[in-house]
Amino acid sequence: MDKRKKIAALEAFLLLNKTYIELVEIKKEQEEKKIPKKRRWWMVSYNKSRARYDGSDMLADLRMEPSGKFENFCRMSSTDFEYLLGKVGPYISRQDTVLRKCIPTQERLAMTLRFLATGDSFKSLSYLFKVSTQTVSRCVHETCSALIDELRYEIKVL
């Protein structure tokens, strides 16, 4: 190669290298300036209707019904439900916050009993109780742990 071709190749290399470095710097600046996405919603609009009719209202309606619908829903009598609620209630209760109200303990227990009795998916329970699937999962896990801890000495396992 003659001298001019070598110089032209070197200039092209330097130009490409400079362009590449500038692109990398621009990319870094954009990543630093990147604004996190705003949430589109805090909760799904279907779950916002909890204010009108939620799981507590449903449980109260089922208890008042003399047809045995509560026993069919929870697979236990109302007195047994109250007994369990008294046992595990202090362990699964939560406090309301400034952002939202907590899920009542009776709903948490009913959610867990419905899951254990029927094997419904967390998704179907989320539609029934108007909470997110993750919330159902967390409530079932926490309530099952509380039931095990609290009833450990009352149940004899062979």
Q: Is the pLDDT of residue 37 over 70?
A: no
CB of 126 within 8 A of CB of 132?
A: yes
Give the model's pLDDT for residue 28.
79
Structural domain harbouring 64:
52-151
**Is 81 contained in some domain?**
yes
Among residues 69, 143, 71, 64, the alpha carbon closest in space to that of 103 is found at 143
**Per-residue model confidence (pLDDT) at position 20:** 73
pLDDT above 50 (res 10): yes
* 3-class SS of residue 155: coil
> Global pTM?
0.65
Residue 79 lies in a domain: yes
pLDDT at 46: 47
Q: What is the mean pLDDT of residues 127-149?
A: 90
- In whole angstroms, what is the distance from residue 77 CA to residue 34 CA? 56
Neighbours of 77 (CB within 10 A): 12
pLDDT in tens, 140-157: 999 999 998 888 888 776
Asked, for residue 13, whether it belongs to a domain, the answer is no
The answer to whether position 141 is within a domain reads yes
- Rounded average pLDDT over 53-79: 81
Number of domains in the chain: 1
Tokens at 42, concatenated: 């805090």
Q: Is residue 20 part of a domain?
A: no
If one compares 1 and 5, the residue with the highest pLDDT of the two is 5
